[in-house]
């Protein structure tokens, strides 16, 4: 279970809806992954009056998965706030994944404007999930602004590099133990999703790693299994790594022929 803003979701995996080969592949991928939420860009959805837009709307309704609109592509506070308000009207939800990009090449979040936009939207009644970096101080400012969930990146969007700054993410998890943290962007393999879940992160959000893979449906299923396995491993309290070997079987009662004199 994933608990955010006092609401529960059936899976710790969130799935994007962009760049799939066909709408049918998208539908099958969502069905295979059974994500807690699917993210949708207002710009991706298009106008309901357009044939493509209407078809996409119909597909979203058929999948019956909670929708998390996002402000993808926004580069200013006003643009992000306006897009969020439009998304609330269109999708009839107060949930918003807040993206505010500061660099066109890395698609790195502008954490300064992000805090300002988050404060405005929270005051307007939104449940804000900000896409941010792993910077501890920036994350604290977002919490001070009223965010109850953070979505730090593992690596730049669409790169599939996996975790670039392991130390920073582990510190973030350690220093914000009571804050839901969802890894957003940069994961490329199910093993990477399992890894961050083993560290104690609360969920992962994926798009490119699934939609642009050779077989999105099977990849979606693989990420769902990896996310679940990683969370189960974390809750099972893994043994601590150690330098020295330690036998898993007792030495007492061994046959004489195992002695050093043999």
DSSP per residue, 99-129: --BS-TTT--B-HHHHHHHHHHHHHTT-EEE
3 state DSSP class of 153: coil
The reply, when asked if residue 207 is annotated as ligand binding, is yes
| 158 annotated to bind ligand | yes
CA–CA distance, 77 with 98 (Å, rounded to integer): 10
Closest CA to 197 of 235, 160, 167: 235
- Residue 13 parent element (H or E): strand 13-16
Confidence at 55, pLDDT banded by 50, 70, 90:
confident
User: Which one of 97, 119, 127, 170 is the catalytic residue?
Assistant: 97
pLDDT of residue 131: 96
Number of domains in the chain: 1
Residue 182 included in any domain: yes
Q: Three-class SS string for 58-93?
A: HHHHHHCCCEEEECCCCCCHHHHHHHHHHHHHHHCC
Neighbours of 241 (CB within 10 A): 5
Q: Which pLDDT score, from 0 to 100, does residue 50 have?
A: 38
Tell me what pLDDT residue 45 has.
Answer: 53
What confidence tier does 53 reach under pLDDT thresholds 50, 70, 90? low
262 inside domain:
no
pLDDT digits (tens, 9 = 90+) for 185-202: 999 999 999 999 999 999
Pair 71, 98: CB distance under 8 Å = yes
CA neighbours within 13 Å on the CB side: how many for 123? 9
Instruction: Determine whether 66 is exposed, middle or buried from the number of CB atoms within 10 Å of its CB (0-12, 13-18, 19+).
Output: middle
Handedness of CA 68, 73, 76, 79 (dihedral sign): negative
pTM for this entry: 0.88
Answer whether residue 147 is part of any domain.
Answer: yes
Range in 51-55, 60-64, 192-196 with the lowest mean pLDDT: 51-55
- Would you say residue 250 lies in a domain? no
Supply 38's token pair.
């699917």
Tell me the C-alpha distance between 197 and 176, whole Å.
15
Residue 88: which domain range? 2-236
By three-state DSSP, how is residue 261 classified? coil
pLDDT in the model for residue 51 = 39
Does residue 248 lie in a domain region?
no
In-domain check, residue 256? no
CATH code for position 12: 3.20.20.70
Is 34 labeled as catalytic in the residue annotation? no
- Annotated binding residue 208: yes
Partners of residue 41 on adjacent β-strands: 70
- Using a pLDDT cut of 90, give the percent of the chain over it: 77
Is residue 128 pLDDT above 70, yes or no? Answer: yes
Residue 251 lies in a domain: no
Q: Is residue 105 part of a domain?
A: yes
């Amino acid at each position: 279970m994933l608990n955010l803003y006092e609401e529960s979701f059936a899976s710790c995996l969130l799935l994007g809806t962009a760049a799939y080969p066909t709408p049918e592949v998208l539908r099958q991928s969502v069905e295979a992954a059974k994500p807690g939420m699917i993210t949708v860009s207002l710009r991706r959805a298009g106008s309901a009056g357009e044939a493509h837009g209407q078809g996409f709307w119909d597909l979203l309704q058929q999948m019956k998965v909670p929708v998390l609109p996002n402000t993808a592509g926004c580069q200013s506070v006003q643009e992000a706030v306006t897009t969020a308000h439009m998304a609330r009207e269109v999708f009839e939800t107060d949930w918003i994944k807040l993206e505010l990009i500061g660099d066109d090449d890395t698609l790195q979040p502008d954490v300064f404007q992000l805090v300002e936009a988050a404060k405005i939207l929270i005051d307007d009644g939104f449940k804000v999930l900000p896409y941010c970096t792993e910077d501890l101080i920036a994350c604290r400012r977002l919490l001070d602004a009223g965010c109850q969930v953070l979505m730090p990146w593992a690596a730049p969007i669409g790169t599939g590099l996996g975790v670039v700054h392991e130390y920073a993410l582990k510190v973030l998890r350690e220093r914000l133990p009571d804050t839901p943290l969802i890894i957003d962007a940069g994961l490329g393999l199910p093993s990477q999703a399992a890894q961050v879940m083993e560290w104690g992160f609360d969920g992962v959000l994926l798009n490119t790693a699934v939609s642009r893979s050779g077989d999105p449906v099977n990849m979606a299923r693989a990420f769902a299994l990896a996310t679940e396995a990683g969370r189960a491993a974390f809750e099972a309290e893994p043994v601590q790594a150690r330098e020295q070997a330690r036998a898993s079987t007792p030495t007492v009662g061994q046959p004489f022929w195992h002695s050093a004199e043999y």
